[in-house]
Amino acid sequence: MLISAFSAKAGDWRVVVQRAGFLGTIAAGAGYDFTEHHGIEFSIGTFPIAEKSYYQSNFIYRYSHWNTPVEGHMWKPIQVGVFLVLAMADGKYFITSPDKYPYAKYYDETALRYGAELGTSFTFAVTRIGLGYYIRVFDNGLIAAFNNSNRDLQYYVSSGFNLSYTF
């Protein structure tokens, strides 16, 4: 019974390349839609610190209430989701936060971050190529707004594009 609930068929799987939006300068991965409205995505991204590149893993859950056919193509006008990001940069980030902020403009740099996203996507029926645009808000945006002298918007809100191919 459990196997039938997760059985994959054509149209459920996709490969994804993403640019920005807290998922890395560039990220590549795979996604799976386990129902018409629910999907997940996993990718590996890169990000620079100084002149060195590091990796991060990304996990996204998305909900799409409306799946709107447009002349045979598929438009998901509103997608909402949550995401997790784990930076794999030894020594640059820590897993848990310190008990107290050491100074007024301290920026909490933990390796594991989460947030919410809002976006839209359009998949072309014949080529099965999809385009998506997402705006993401990091958890530390709220932390920064209340605890750290309101850091710039760029620290906790970002937008990103993706290109996908559905099998």
The whole-number pLDDT of residue 49 equals 86
Contact status, residue 38 vs residue 65, Cβ threshold 8 Å: no
Tokens of 98: 């310190």
DSSP 8-state code for residue 11: T
pLDDT tens figures, 2-35: 444 445 555 689 999 999 999 999 999 999 999 9
Q: Which pTM was predicted?
A: 0.82
Contact status, residue 134 vs residue 122, Cβ threshold 8 Å: no
The dihedrals phi and psi of 3, each to the nearest 5 degrees, come to -65, -40
pLDDT tens figures, 74-109: 999 999 999 999 998 876 676 666 566 666 665 556
How far is Cα 39 from Cα 34, in angstroms, rounded to an integer?
6
Nearest to 45 by CA among 24, 21, 22, 19: 24
For the chain, where are the E strands, in sequence order?
Answer: 13-20, 26-33, 38-49, 52-63, 68-70, 73-88, 112-123, 129-138, 157-166
